[in-house]
Amino acid sequence: MKLSWRVILLWTLPILVIGFFLWQGAFSTAPMPTGNNTASTRMTYGRFLDYLNQGRIMSVDLYEGGRTAIVEATDPELDGRIQRLRVDLPGNAPELISRLRQDHISFDVHPPRNDGAIWGLVGNLIFPILLIGGLFFLFRRSSNVPGGPGQAMSFGKSRARFMMEAKTGVMFDDVAGIEEAKEELQEVVSFLKKPERFTAVGAKIPKGVLLVGPPGTGKTLLAKAIAGEAGVPFFSISGSEFVEMFVGVGASRVRDLFKKAKENAPCIIFIDEIDAVGRQRGAGIGGGNDEREQTLNQLLTEMDGFEGNTGIIIIAATNRPDVLDSALLRPGRFDRQVTVDAPDIKGRLEVLKVHARNKKLDPSVSLEAIARRTPGFTGADLANLLNEAAILTARRRKDAITMLEIDDAVDRVVAGMEGTPLVDSKSKRLIAYHEVGHALVGTLLKDHDPVQKVTLIPRGQAQGLTWFTPNEEQGLISRAQLLARITGALGGRAAEQVIFGDAEVTTGAGGDLQQVTGMARQMVTRFGMSDLGPLSLESQQGEVFLGRDWMSRSDYSDEIAARIDAQVRSIAEHCYDQACKIIRENREVMDRLVDLLIEKETIDGEEFRQIVAEYTAVPEKEQYVPKL
């Protein structure tokens, strides 16, 4: 691994500092002089006094403030030769100088060197200098990292990504399935490219466009396409990047963002997930002034305040427009709200064509058939679908994607990963009757969606599945269709009870019963399809929004609540009785279908209807066939 010199320096700094202090501690005191003044033989202070009394001391050199002395003395044991000895003197012996003068002994006092103070000063300075230098290199190294430590002193600066020429690689031709939204935004691009065409008739450029739609429908992709088409400076930021734990930081970032935008006007600002900062004000408990509200106030002022801004178009995206502040949605701030919804069958076909460009498809693959089978899929879902099909193709070592991989990918995206098939047992037969019950009741009801396939292959948490093909472009649902769906959902439980009896009823219908209860309750409380009359007794607002709906209240009395429960129960019981009746009257065909399903594990919808038609009349159903 290659290490930079900065990393090596940061690792060696502590070692150098520790070594320096050890070296300083060893040499901070002035040592004995070297050369002729050294003495290797020591002599005790008591013996020194004896020599002094006997007159054997020739000279004395005092060092270290009088704590150490180098003594020249004659030793009778060595024939009177002069010997240099080192003596450690006590600190409290001031009479020694007087005694030396009195005995006329030559002495000299050597003052201590000042090296210790110098090295102490240097040691006290070098560690802060090295520490500051290391921090400087750290800050400099991370200064180019967004949000890194090098930007610790720039909390109030905008973190928006700026592109003078936005090269996102996405154009309007790469966005399919949402033609109405594309037309609305193409006008914005025309405003930026050729403003004189609009100003000639008195038109003003819109200040803001709000993209509204469920997740995965292509709101951010549209913003990238606008950036790629407009050819003007482009700022992109997420709503969560405005809000910090420090009060005033978000408002400062908003000011800095619009200051940069005004310097580069005309330009586009894209704020993704604006609901993170644009929620309704006054939603807190206690009326506190929080950081998010200050940020929103600053955003409102910058978009359309006293000064205003010209040449700046703000594009925002959200999937929660119901929680946005009303002042943010008014004309003058967000002049247009563009709904980006899930594509219809034509839109899905166009989306599939876009995502199939870089996929190797078998000639037998029909994108039209895929589009018909995937109602409700968004652009992100379709992209994921083709990617899953490509992964399955590679796993199965095939050269091209076939319809088999497409069908398996649809099942995996909708229901989950395929599990291990069940062994032939009583449990498998019971599940087969349950799934055939759904399919048989749905087939024999005129207002129910047609069966697509029935399978015993487990997926996700389900041990078996029955697929229905919903009617395309069905914006309105009739009362008969809702009752048919409730009856079809109860077909599995009805089959268990009719075939195996009350004692063998299982928990497999738990999800079906939740679905039935929800649909029946909506019929009574929202759609006015009961004996209570045409009344809407419950709002569509499911979640409690803190500060606005904190105290949830009932829209009806206890008496009406009891009648609602009775109506919901009446609808469910009526549909359940009808499902049991259909199964009892068609027991023979049901047994044959169950045996076939256990043998094959999957029955196609067309084959299923042909077998049922051999025993009873199958009602013709109106199925939407769009022109592609």
Q: What is the CATH number of the domain that holds 186?
A: 3.40.50.300
| 285 and 383, same domain (yes or no) | no
pLDDT band at residue 487 using 50, 70 and 90 as cut-offs:
very high
Question: Of 307, 338, 369, which one is at a domain's C-terminal end?
Answer: 338
| 66 and 13, same domain (yes or no) | no
pLDDT band at residue 8 using 50, 70 and 90 as cut-offs:
low
Residue 32 has pLDDT above 60, yes or no: no
Residue 400's CATH number:
1.10.8.60
The mean of the pLDDT values for the chain is 78
| 188 and 287, same domain (yes or no) | yes
| 278 and 136, same domain (yes or no) | no
Residue-level pLDDT at 167: 67
Residue 489 has pLDDT above 90, yes or no: yes
| 139 and 22, same domain (yes or no) | yes
| 357 and 471, same domain (yes or no) | no
| 67 and 183, same domain (yes or no) | no
What percent of the chain is modeled with pLDDT above 70? 77
| 489 and 571, same domain (yes or no) | yes
Residue 464 inside a domain? The answer is yes
Domain tally for the chain? 5
Residue 290 inside a domain? The answer is yes
Write the pLDDT tens digit of every residue in 316-332. Answer: 999 888 888 888 888 88
* Average pLDDT estimate for 299-304: 85
Residue 85 inside a domain? The answer is yes
**Is the pLDDT higher at 451 or at 20?**
451
Contacts of 29 (CB under 8 A, 6+ apart): 64, 116
Residue 500 inside a domain? The answer is yes
The Cα–Cα gap between 457 and 467 comes to: 12
Question: Of 300, 317, 338, which one is at a domain's C-terminal end?
Answer: 338
C-alpha 175 chain-centroid distance = 24
Q: 3-state DSSP helix/strand/coil percent for the chain, to nearest 5?
A: 50, 15, 35
Residue 446's CATH number:
1.20.58.760
Question: Of 151, 177, 206, which one is at a domain's C-terminal end?
Answer: 151
The Cα–Cα gap between 626 and 558 comes to: 47
Q: Domain limits at 87?
A: 35-112
Any idea which residues carry the catalytic annotation? 435
Residue 334 has pLDDT above 80, yes or no: yes
Residue-level pLDDT at 544: 44
Residue-level pLDDT at 434: 92
Residue-level pLDDT at 581: 93
Q: What is the pTM of this model?
A: 0.67
What percent of the chain is modeled with pLDDT above 90? 16
Residue 57's CATH number:
3.30.720.210
Contacts of 627 (CB under 8 A, 6+ apart): none
Write the pLDDT tens digit of every residue in 372-395. Answer: 888 888 888 898 999 999 999 999
**Is the pLDDT higher at 224 or at 155?**
224
| 201 and 238, same domain (yes or no) | yes
Residue 551 inside a domain? The answer is no
| 71 and 166, same domain (yes or no) | no
- DSSP lists the bridge partners of residue 272 as 238, 317
| 97 and 125, same domain (yes or no) | no
Write the pLDDT tens digit of every residue in 179-189. Answer: 778 887 888 78
Residue 378 inside a domain? The answer is yes
Residue 246 inside a domain? The answer is yes
| 99 and 172, same domain (yes or no) | no
Residues belonging to the chain: 628
C-alpha 19 chain-centroid distance = 47
Residue 199 inside a domain? The answer is yes
Which of 126-135, 263-272, 388-397, 619-628 has maximum average pLDDT?
Answer: 388-397
